[in-house]
Amino acid sequence: MAKRVTSKTSTALAIVPISQPASVPSADPVSEPELAKPRVFIHDVCTDHPDLSYSRYWWDQKHDREGITPWIAKKLCPGDDPIFGHAAKAEVLLPPTAPSDYMDVHFLTSQFDRTLPSFEKHAMVQMKLFLDQQEAWHIGYERVRSFARAHFAATHPVILIAHVPQIVGLEGNGSHVHCVVLSRGINVNGFTPACTTLCSDRGYRKALAAWRKHLKAEGKGA
């Protein structure tokens, strides 16, 4: 573009080019920080407890952490198939005073992630309980459910997820139930502080003893 300039001493018109603004280099896209997944310590299947493993999940850092929601979502839908890729059964067990909104597993985990203080490192524990292959899987599931209700769900939210490969035409690693217990309890006012006992060796030993007692009461233990 140009502007017309009139000289005071002449009626001639001069054409003066208008300088263009300097081009601003485009900013590089800001990359999102990679979120840290929870770390895990596993008391794996062994001769002392061949039917279960007990895992504890926690974070080393205070910021840029991936929550538990993606992990739970993957357990709920372990496969890609829209029909056969889902868990055989899943449900939430809540303490008696917990608001019913938390019965929705996605609401439960997203609220846990959103409200977990940065200083809190404990995430959850998981008991993976293998079912008796000589029983129908729903019988073993109900056994796990009653155990989880008695031992964990009086104070903590529990997410039960059953994987039964045979019903979707797979061999898999045997039928089992993931009993996921969130580190924080829940009551009428929402989440309580994390339970350090639950997320420790002591919590593992207490859960193992309670499971053996539960099995014995049902005539399954030694």
Domains in the chain, CATH or no CATH each: 49-216 (3.30.930.30)
Query: Phi-psi bin for 64: left (phi > 0), alpha (psi -120 to 50), beta?
Result: left
Residue 84: what pLDDT?
80
Res. 42: pLDDT tops 50: yes
DSSP, res 121: -
Task: Judge whether residue 10 has pLDDT over 80.
Answer: no
The predicted model gives 41-68 an average pLDDT of 95
**What pLDDT, in 10s, does the model give residues 85-97?**
899 999 999 999 9
Return the pLDDT at 20: 52
Whether pLDDT at 11 is above 50: no
Buried b (16+ CB within 10 A) or exposed e, 92-101: bbbbeebeee
Per-residue model confidence (pLDDT) at position 81? 82
